[in-house]
Structure 1
């Protein structure tokens, strides 16, 4: 039994993910990216968790979401809250998950019409 639309009208959908690759709107991405609930998918210049800076999360802030789902890579890892302080100050929620959980959670929230951004870290070696 099907419970949700494959592609919400006018919104972005994450249809598949695997190590090093995420499919958004049937297009494969092999780099870190920001997936807003609506609008263009953006390249995110984050390549490794230990290289994340405040400016990476300020790019997310510019999208003006109500919630950010941060996919920290193949396993759950947390960054220091000072990195996403601008989001906290703007009263934007931030949830950290591994990549698979972040993709699933984003899909559910976006299908509900929520103003959500998936910030997905696809680390390069």
Structure 2
């Protein structure tokens, strides 16, 4: 809530929990009876709005929250948009060094796989680029 004189305060989008992704497309995602426009990052601490919109924007810095929670993540699914794209080699090496198995796939496949692994109570995280 904004205090008098500050105007509107925008906070980072964050859902504090794990939830399956109910739908994707039209530039966003639906989960936990909410919708989010843009990419999302789902880690053990919750689901966050995520800035990258293209594979080219997938940098080590973009995955900082994943690395902070690496001890609780076995598998990271990376949804690379409408098509399967490889993540940069330096990023793959960083995941490996932190003990995270990272798999890149089209966003639709990543959503489906994430939901299955989540239902099995696996230590899964997902970095999902929005698709139209």
Q: Which category describes the TM-score, using the shorter chain as reference length?
A: 0.7 to 0.9
Specify which of 37, 50, 60 is matched with residue 54 of structure 1. Answer: 60
Structure 1 residue 59, shift from structure 2 partner: 2.5
Moved over 4 A (4+): none
Structure 2 spans left out of the alignment, 5+ residues: 1-16
Structure 1 residue 52, shift from structure 2 partner: 2.1
RMSD between aligned alpha carbons?
1.9
Structure scoring higher RCO (CA < 8 A, sep ≥ 6) equals: 1
Structure 1 residue 55, shift from structure 2 partner: 0.8
User: 1:7 maps to which residue?
Assistant: none
The TM-score with structure 2 as length reference comes to 0.77
User: 1:20 maps to which residue?
Assistant: 27
Structure 1 residue 123, shift from structure 2 partner: 6.3
The TM-score with structure 1 as length reference comes to 0.81
